Amino acid sequence: MTQTSEPRSNPRSIQALIKPKTIRPTVFWRLAEDIPKPLYTALTVTSIGLPLLLWWAITTFGTIDPKFLPSPAKVMEAFGRLWSTRELLKDTVASLWRVGVGFLLASLCSIPVGVLMGSFPSIRALLEPLFGLMRYMPAPAFIPLLILYLGIGEEPKITLIFIGVFFFNSLMVMDTVKFVPKDLIEATYMLGGNRWEALTQVILPHVLPGIIDACRINLAAAWQLVIVSELIAANEGLGRRISVAGRFLRTDEIFVGLIVIGVIGLSFDLLFQYLLRVSCKWASQKR
Amino acid sequence: MFLQINKLNKHFDTKKGTLVVLKDIDMAIQQGEFICAVGASGSGKSTLLRQIAGLDAPTTGEVTVDGKRITGPGPDRGMVFQHYTLFPWMNVQENTEFGLKLQGVPKTERREQASYFLDVVGLTQFAQSLPQELSGGMKQRVAIARALASEPKVLLMDEPFGALDIHTKESMHQFMIDLWQRTNITIFMITHDVEEAVFLSNRIYALGARPGTVRKEIHVNLPERSHSVKRHSTFHDYRDELMDLLRAHGQEAVAAVA
Ligand SMILES: Nc1ncnc2c1ncn2[C@@H]1O[C@H](COP(=O)(O)OP(=O)(O)OP(=O)(O)O)[C@@H](O)[C@H]1O
Ligand SMILES: [Mg+2]
């Protein structure tokens, strides 16, 4: 197998064309690596703290009409006022209830449908075109129809959330199922499992983290839709609070509404992230 | 014959037309044999094993185990895949038990059986670990324990030690020999490692590539089964014969491409 060395062009010559590169150590610009904990905390605090500080500075030292931008203190005051009259609590509960019911119904339907679509190409072929189409119809565009069909009570609002969540969630759950390695399913068959067992004991646990993540993302959509539906027609709710405050130019109350909506949404998000961490240790360690 | 492969052909339809991967494969394996099929990469080894496993159906021909024609996958054939296929959310104990659970074995019995085989592969102290906390060799040992726990008629292995370092590989070889001699299980193992094949098996099928065919069948008769046999001249003769066979095929394959 010995080869006689042929006269070749000097292999060194390519070196002249290679541009030298070094990767310098960094803390802030680390790619896909952890940064030191204190830096992480500092940046997180800055993320919320800096805009708050700016807001306070502008309203204190600037010359902006408080009708357009109330100061943080004014907003806190409005919050106290709305809280003491229990109006804020009533609105929050009303919105939470609508989101809760609509989102729960949509999840209960979309998770099994999504898993079936992802697992069985036949069901995917049957449903994917329809769902793909429905997904591109913005849910708020259904409001006039829903009012026409269901009036202005709770039903149209819950149905709106259902429409807005169901199709997206089904398709997102379907995608997570597609990523289950075929090897694992074949291993299940070789160990004596049938299709049903592969579905319930291998595919389901494998996609559980993906499902939780899909639900987390779509809960944000549900939370937006409830506010939209309340802006249009409602007797109570956080969206209704904002639209009434707008009519009377009570900017401080608009701010209260917006902040409450944001904080509740963020809490949901953190709750789902926590759920993911405790229920799927095997998946969260990878990320 | 215990495991029989009759006139098996396997074609794949690809964009470039029909690809013949396996051509006229005939094999006959008796109970208690340790068979290795050796072939170059791409010679259709995994494809052949999938036909025996029942994960794929032959284009023509058939595979029978214990007289029954294979029509689908089942736990009478234990399978160790080429790539790691442990269930990532189950710990080592649960992975090992899973086959028994699927077959309806009560909890205490399957726990005992799994613990026994975890002990056999030397992983008792990792029973509560998740697969992602294990090294490659440990994962493959769990996969072997999982396949053995159902007490299959035949153990099918697809290059199970391909990714292991030489020392882990040697201890796995000794482990396989011990296991085979103790349980008298039938083993059909695929490998591209010639020394591994000579050391482990009592019979070797050397496969030719493109299309995959049985080139030669070699009965291995070693004076002993321990690592010192690798210095023995008989061992070298077998190894060299196989190397020559595969080398010839490698050149054919290269010529076919050129
Ligand atoms: N599903 C498939 N569709 C089309 N071609 C396939 C399919 N599966 C395998 N092949 C082809 O069959 C040939 C043999 O593949 P196979 O995986 O059996 O090889 P192998 O001997 O196991 O190789 P290695 O040692 O690298 O694992 C390859 O050329 C591959 O491209
Ligand atoms: Mg292979």
**Mean pLDDT of each 10-residue bin along chain B, 258 residues long:** 88 88 90 91 89 91 90 90 90 94 92 91 90 88 91 91 84 87 89 90 89 87 81 87 79 52
Helix intervals (H) in chain A: 37-61, 72-84, 87-119, 121-135, 143-150, 154-178, 182-190, 195-198, 204-232, 238-247, 251-279, 281-284
Element (H, E) at B206: strand B203-208
Q: What is the pLDDT of residues A80-93, one digit of tens each?
A: 999 999 989 999 99
- CATH fold of the domain at A90-283: MetI-like fold (1.10.3720)
Q: What is the pLDDT of residues A271-281, one digit of tens each?
A: 999 988 888 77
The domains of chain A are located at 90-283
3-class DSSP assignment, residue A31: coil
In the 8-state DSSP scheme, what is residue A5? P
Residue-level pLDDT at B251: 59
Residue-level pLDDT at A284: 65
- Beta carbon of B14 within 6 Å of any ligand 1 atom: yes
Residue-level pLDDT at A193: 92
Residue-level pLDDT at B163: 77
Q: What is the pLDDT of residues A152-168, one digit of tens each?
A: 888 999 999 999 999 99
A182 close to B (CB below 8 A) = no
Asked if residue A187 has pLDDT above 70, the reply is yes
Among the partner-chain residues B53, B130, B150, the one whose CB lies closest to the CB of A192 is B150
Contact B77 A202 (CB under 8 A): no
Contact B75 A280 (CB under 8 A): no
Partners of residue B77 in chain A, C-beta under 8 Å: 190
Partners of residue A188 in chain B, C-beta under 8 Å: 98, 102
Residue-level pLDDT at A22: 85
How close B248 gets to chain A, by Cα (Å)? 14
Are B49 and B156 in contact by the 8 Å Cβ rule? The answer is yes
Per the prediction, chain A carries an average pLDDT of 88
Ligand number with the minimum distance to the CA of B50 = 1
Residue-level pLDDT at B254: 53
Residue-level pLDDT at A287: 43
User: HEC string of B130-150?
Assistant: CHHHCCHHHHHHHHHHHHHHC
Residue-level pLDDT at B170: 87
User: What's the distance, Cα to Cα, between the start and end of chain A in Å?
Assistant: 48
**Residue A185: which of B62, B79, B63 has the closest Cα?**
B79
Residue-level pLDDT at A8: 58
Would you place residue A68 in the very low, low, confident or very high pLDDT band (cuts 50, 70, 90)? confident
What ipTM was assigned to the predicted interfaces of this complex? 0.89
3-class DSSP assignment, residue B208: strand
Exposed, middle or buried: residue A183 (CB in 10 Å: 0-12, 13-18, 19+)?
middle
Residue-level pLDDT at B245: 85
Mutate to test the pocket of ligand 1, among B13, B19, B51 (most ligand atoms within 8 A of CB): B19
**Domains present along chain B, CATH in parentheses:** 3-76+156-257 (3.40.50.300), 83-151 (no CATH)
- Beta carbon of B46 within 6 Å of any ligand 1 atom: yes
What is the CA(B82)–ligand 2 centre distance, in A? Answer: 6
Q: Least CA distance to A198: which residue of chain B?
A: B102
pTM equals: 0.83
3-class DSSP assignment, residue B23: strand
What is the CA(B47)–ligand 1 centre distance, in A? Answer: 6
Longest dimension (CA), chain A: 95
B34-38 vs B186-191, strand pairing mode: parallel
Are A214 and A107 in contact by the 8 Å Cβ rule? The answer is no
What is the CA(A61)–ligand 1 centre distance, in A? Answer: 72
Residue-level pLDDT at B229: 82
- Beta carbon of B18 within 6 Å of any ligand 1 atom: no
